[in-house]
Amino acid sequence: MQRALLSKYQAFRRRLVPTLITLLIAAAVIRLLWFPGPYFSLSGIGPLVLIMIAVNLIIGPGLTALVYREGKPGLKFDLMAIAVVELVALGWACHAIYLRQPVYAVFAVDRFEVVAAAEIDRTQIADPKLRSRPGHEPRLVFAEVPTDQDKLNKLLDDVLHLGLPDIDRQPEFWRPYASGIVVVKSQSRPLTDLLQPGDSRSKRVKGWLRRNDASAGDYVYLPLRAKVRDAAMIVHADIGYPVGVLDVDPW
């Protein structure tokens, strides 16, 4: 009995090492490439990553220890089947997480909206340049409110009465971010508003300013709406482009 338990433990340990390496690589890709910076916590993807890790540890090392017995007929087939199931489970989990990654930060009316890959059909984006994400940060996009009254009325009717997505998730209204900088600036708020005495957010804002050797007067901010909670998108006051995201209540 002790020898059988020892062999199961050794099989578990041998399978554990490659499983942990694979999970470490997957977690690094998810954290650093798909959900960089505060987008990981804002997107609420943490529980799904933990489930992915737990399931693969159970399927890989767990089932290996369960079925392993020296000299067992068909043992090699059982171990290969477990490896295949483990890879399939990992692939499914990574695909589900990939579809939730933030690919766009869309400015709409008076805020930024984080849009995940699964929420829009990129083929509907008129400008081909906006169909890809440069680097690992979400691509900046400006959602232009229709100036034609008939189109505006139709949009409002679709959103308010038919329950269709707003312009932040309707690619037909998307334009290059640079075309909306004037609107972005007009809707922004001074970063100094977050530095008022007694404001619990001021500590994080001051920390961000110190790390970037910056002055609060050079920046403004706008709300950034994400999956599980909102944050503050820090924007350069002069050029109108975002320079960072602070995980604080922007309202």
Rounded average pLDDT over 195-207: 92
Q: Where are the domains of the chain?
A: 2-99, 102-186, 188-251
Among all chains, which residue has been given the structure tokens 């350069």? 236
Q: What is the mean pLDDT of the chain?
A: 90
**Per the structure block, which two tokens stand in for 152?**
């505006």
What's the predicted TM-score (pTM) here? 0.84
**Per the structure block, which two tokens stand in for 149?**
């009254």
Q: 99-108, 138-147, 158-167, 178-187: which range is least confident on average? A: 158-167
The CA distance from 68 to 124, in Å, is: 52
> How far is residue 165 CA from its own chain's centroid?
20
Q: Residue 83: phi, psi to the nearest 5?
A: -60, -40
pLDDT band at 3 (very low <50, low <70, confident <90, very high): low
The CA distance from 3 to 11, in Å, is: 12
